[in-house]
Amino acid sequence: MAVRERLRRWAGRIVWLLKRGAGSRNIDFRKLEEILKYSIHNRQLFSEALSHRSYLQIVGNENAISNERLEFLGDAILNLAVAEYLYRRYITAPEGELTKIRARLVNRKALSIYAHHIRLADFLLMSPSASQVAGKGMDTILADAYEAIIGAIYLDGGFHHAQQFVEQTILTALERGLIKTEDENFKSQLLEHAQATGYGAPRYLTINEEGPDHDRTFTVEVFIGSESYGVGRGKNKKDAEQAAAEQALQQLNLL
C-alpha cells in the first residue's frame, strides 16, 4: 500500500506539472502587466516575485528562488511609499496620527485586500497543497506576494514606478471602501452610547458558526437591554461583533 500511495502521489505531481508547466511560461505576462499597470522588462524578476517557497519543491530546480527576498525588499519600499503619500495628503496631521494611518494601510489584512482586488492569486506559482490553503493562510501568501511584486517593480523600473503601483492600489481600495484610514471601533462607540443612555454594556451572542475549522464564519447578534439591535458576520468573533455593532449604530442613526 505504501508503494501504491507513493506512485499515486508521483502520478498526481506529474499531471500537475504537465498542466502548469515550469518556470516563467506559467505566467501570462500580458495580463500581469494589465493588472499592475506597468510594462515589465525583466520577466525573471516577476516570476521570482510570484513564486511561493512551496513551488521550489515542485520544479526541482536548484537555481529557482522563492519570493521571500523580494518580499523583504518590497516591505521597506512599501513603508517608504506610504509614508511619503501620507505626508503629502495629510499636511496638518501630527507624526503619531500618520503612524497610526500607515499601520492600517500596510498591515497584513490590508495587503491581502490589495492583492485580492487585483486578482494576484491568478498568477501565483505554488504547490497543489499550498494552493488549497484558505482563509488567513492564503491571505498571508497573497500579502507576501504583493510586497514581492513591489520589490520586483522597484528593481525593474525604479522607485517612482513602485510608488505609483502602491498608491494606485491603495487609492482604489480606499475609494471602493475596501479599507479605511480612520479608526472604526464600532463596539467602543456602541458601548459609549449604551452606557450614556443608561442601558449598560451591550451583550454579544454568537448565534451561528459554519464552515470548516480553517475557514469558519461566525454570526453574532448584539443586544442592548433585552432588545436586538444588529446581526453581523465575520471570519472570527471579533470581526462579527464589530459588524453587529456597526449595524446597531446604523439602526440608532449614529452613523
Catalytic residue list? 75, 147
Angle between helices 159-175 and 108-117 (to 10 degrees): 90
Contacts 24+ apart (CB under 8 A), 157-165: 157/38, 157/41, 159/77, 159/80, 159/81, 161/38, 162/74, 162/77, 162/81, 163/77, 163/81, 163/84, 163/85, 164/37, 164/38, 165/36, 165/37, 165/38
SS3 121: helix
Number of other residues whose CB lies within 10 A of the CB of residue 235: 15
How far apart CA 252 and CA 201 sit, in angstroms, is 15
The answer to whether 217 and 209 have CB atoms below 8 angstroms apart is: yes
Three-state DSSP class for 232? strand
167: its cell numbers? 498608491
Closest-CA residue to 16 (of 109, 129, 116) = 129
Closest CA to 150 of 64, 50, 83, 222: 50
Name the 3-class secondary structure at 142. helix
Residue 100 in contact with residue 90, Cβ under 8 Å? no
